[in-house]
Chain A
Amino acid sequence: MERIPILKMGPFLLVTIQVDLYDRLALGLEQDLVNMVSKTGARGVLIEISAVSIVDSFMGRIIGNIASMSRIMGAETVVVGMQPAVAITLVELGITLQGVHTALDVEKGMDLLLNKTGLDQLQKQEEPDEPAE
């Protein structure tokens, strides 16, 4: 079965989705990722989806689930690189990905993760919805 690789990078997990997610692949990713978070004790998860051009409510829900599950285990989730068309589709479907942080690209996503987890040695921002910069 096809799998999406999950890379460990310091205290974070890095997932780049290079193919369109079909349902079984997404479910597999959810399972693998949760296992990895629990095994490595990661503090953050960064999911890069710039290659994803097709999205449906199921995938939106999976991303939301991953974020919720990771949070329970003490990891923040950042989704980066969403295409405009995907964002519009998700909004039209009524999915706003509550509890998921978003960033424009991997670099900004990493900054955001560092910031959110307090690992950038700076004080944590008081307002959780303030951007990283």
Chain B
Amino acid sequence: MNITAQLIQRLKKTILDNWMGTQLSDQSLRFDLISEEELRKQSEELLNGLARAMASGNADNIYAVEYEPVTEILADISTTRARQGFSPRETVLYVLSLKQAIADILEQQLADQPEQLYREVMALNRLLDSLSIITFETFIKGREEVILRQTDEISEISTPVIRVWEGILALPIIGTLDSGRTQVVMENLLQEIVNTGSTIAILDISGVPTVDSLVAQHLIKTVSATRLMGAECIISGIRAEIAQAIVHLGIDLSSIKTRATLAGALQLAFSMSKLEVRAQDRTTNFGLKR
């Protein structure tokens, strides 16, 4: 067992107090996200784990079996912190401040042996740097998980299928259509066509910021699939700049029914289903009102 490990084992209490002191004095500590008590518990657990791992005599290779509990605790802490909304800086500072706490103790204890002190501090540096890398990695992984979950949720809620009339469905698309979303849009739309027995579907793209050839291709795919099912598809919400872009790109939408506004598409859908919407006959009301 090397000197650092012995020191940590012996002076665990002091180190923990020092460490807590550094953490608590840091301006960036987020008391809104974590309580002092919880922080102390977390820190103690990590320090105990580290002491146990170092007691095995291995102070270099953090990928060794003895360090598994430590890395697990760290991964746990940083994933939770990523979810709680800590910044990466705050999370890594947490580990790096432990380095300072241990180095301070080493400095006190080995004040008369500068060479030994140097070696020990360097070893400690290497060890804790590796640990902070692990913290960073898991922190980012935790964040990515959050982002992935949100992406899923967004694509889930951003493609509602609305029944605007008996036999007429509307599907407002918000955001750019990529292959993945096209699949979701198609599945939702086709399933809803089966469920409601609707013969007309209106795809409204007023919420799509830009239409390039890829997006157009995805739209054409969706229209084709709807046709195969036996329903008719109208694309609405084609703004002036989108019409320009489509023509400049040389995309042929002539085989698809298109309208500038959702209102226009609804009107077309009514006429296709032989429905008529009329204003109430004014002449009868006229006499009553005046």
Would you call the interface of chain A mostly helix, strand, loop, or mixed? mixed
Given the complex of chains A and B, what is the CA–CA distance between A97 and B199 in angstroms? 18
> Total A-B pairs in contact (CB under 8 Å)?
67
Contact, CB under 8 Å: A102 / B227: yes
| Complex contacts, A84 vs chain B, CB 8 Å | 186-187, 190-191, 193-194, 225, 229
B274 touches A (CB below 8 Å): yes
User: Does A109 sit at the interface, judged by CB under 8 A?
Assistant: yes
- Whether the pair B191, A82 counts as a contact (CB closer than 8 A) is no
Complex: how many Å from CA A103 to CA B231?
Answer: 7
User: Which residues of B sit under 8 angstroms from A108, Cβ to Cβ?
Assistant: 199, 230
Are B186 and A82 neighbours in the complex by a CB distance under 8 Å?
no
Interface size classification for chain A: 20 to 34
Q: How far is the CA of A108 from the CA of B231 in the complex (A)?
A: 10
* B273 neighbours in A (Cβ, 8 Å): 133
Q: What's the interface size class on B, roughly?
A: 20 to 34
In the assembled complex, the CB of A101 is this many whole angstroms from the nearest CB of chain B, namely 8
Q: Is B197 an interface residue (CB 8 A)?
A: yes
Across the two chains, which residue of chain B brings its CB closest to A97?
B228
Given contacts A91-B224, A104-B197, A133 and B230 within 8 Å (CB-CB)? no
Chain A CB count within 10 A is highest, among B194, B200, B255, for: B194
Is B204 engaged at the interface, CB distance under 8 Å to the other chain? Answer: no
Q: How far is the CA of A3 from the CA of B137 in the complex (A)?
A: 61
* Distance of A63 from chain B, by nearest CB (Å): 10
CB interface residues, A 114-132, toward B, < 8 Å: 129-131
> What sequence of 0s and 1s flags, for each residue 247-283 of chain B, a beta carbon within 8 Å of any chain A beta carbon?
0000000010000000000000000111000000000
Q: Using a CB–CB distance below 8 Å, which chain A residues touch chain B?
A: 79-84, 86-88, 90-92, 96-97, 102-105, 108-109, 129-131, 133
